[in-house]
Amino acid sequence: MEKVRLDIIALSHSVTQSHNYAVILGEQVGKRRLPIVIGGFEAQAIAVAMENMTPNRPLTHDLFKNTLDAFDIQLVEIVINNLLDGIFYAQLVCEQNGRTLQIDARTSDAISLAVRYNCPIYTYEFILESAGVILDEDPQQESKVAAVPKKPSLENMSIESLEKSLAEALEKEDYEKAAIIRDIIQEKKNL
């Protein structure tokens, strides 16, 4: 089966399931999107890696990456290889000393590691046909999907106060809040 290369398009609150998030993957050549519902901790692990944040202590995915690196195992790619009863399945494709290893993984964990290794994400055509969607051509639509709600009180704060709040959020390891604060600081600096 031929693989289809995907990129992470957005990470947002899930429209269909409250208290969950969705990672939106998009095919590199084409308009289809593959939304995958994930939990809050999984979303946080992906967001931390995407934003190049450095937590005070290694997160589980950082620990796993460090372990693979210590044993000279390279993550080459991840493949979302099946969809059964609405659940996505994935594999880590690794190499060690010229030998290829395939390790089953939850899709959210595989994506989190792919971000940390900067390795490609793939799926198969039958999965895109079954679970893929095509978003409207309106560029505003995609920004709505990617939007993360911001607390109005944060937007009224000065840059100095925001930077202090950012440091506190990182100290408490509240990376979701830290990402929101960082985005507001960037918006204010760009004005």
- Whether residue 146 has pLDDT greater than 50: no
Same domain? 46 vs 14: yes
pLDDT for 72 beyond 90: yes
Least confident of 12-16, 19-23, 82-86, 119-123: 12-16
Is pTM beyond 0.95? Reply is no
Q: Quick one: 100 and 191 in the same domain?
A: no
Task: State the residue range of the domain holding 191.
Answer: 150-191
Judgement on whether residues 46 and 32 belong to the same structural domain of the protein: yes
Dist CA 96 CA 74 (whole Å): 7
pLDDT band at 136 (very low <50, low <70, confident <90, very high): low
Same domain as 92, residue 173: no
Contact 188, 159 (CB under 8 A): yes
* Confidence check: pLDDT of 149 > 80: no
Which tens digit of pLDDT belongs to each residue from 31-65? Answer: 999 999 998 888 888 988 888 888 888 889 999 99
Q: Within this chain, do residues 69 and 32 fall inside the same structural domain, yes or no? A: yes
Is the domain of 16 the same as that of 74?
Answer: yes
The rounded mean pLDDT for the chain is 84
- Asked if 11 and 57 sit in the same domain, the reply is yes
Is pLDDT above 80 for 13?
no
Q: Cα separation of 147 and 19, whole Å?
A: 16
28 and 91 together in one domain = yes
* Matching residue, tokens 């059964």: 84
Q: CA 74, CA 161: separation in Å to the nearest integer?
A: 41
Note the pLDDT tens digit of each residue in 166-176: 888 777 777 77
The CATH number for 143's domain is 3.10.690.10
Q: Are residues 177 and 117 in the same domain?
A: no
69 and 47 both lie in a single domain: yes
> Kindly report the CA angle at 103 between 98 and 105, in degrees rounded to 5?
145
Clarify whether residues 67 and 113 are in a common domain: yes
Q: Bigger pLDDT: 95 or 12? A: 95
For residues 135 and 181, which has the higher predicted lDDT (pLDDT)?
A: 181
Domains in the chain, number: 2
Check whether residue 68 and residue 157 sit in a common domain: no
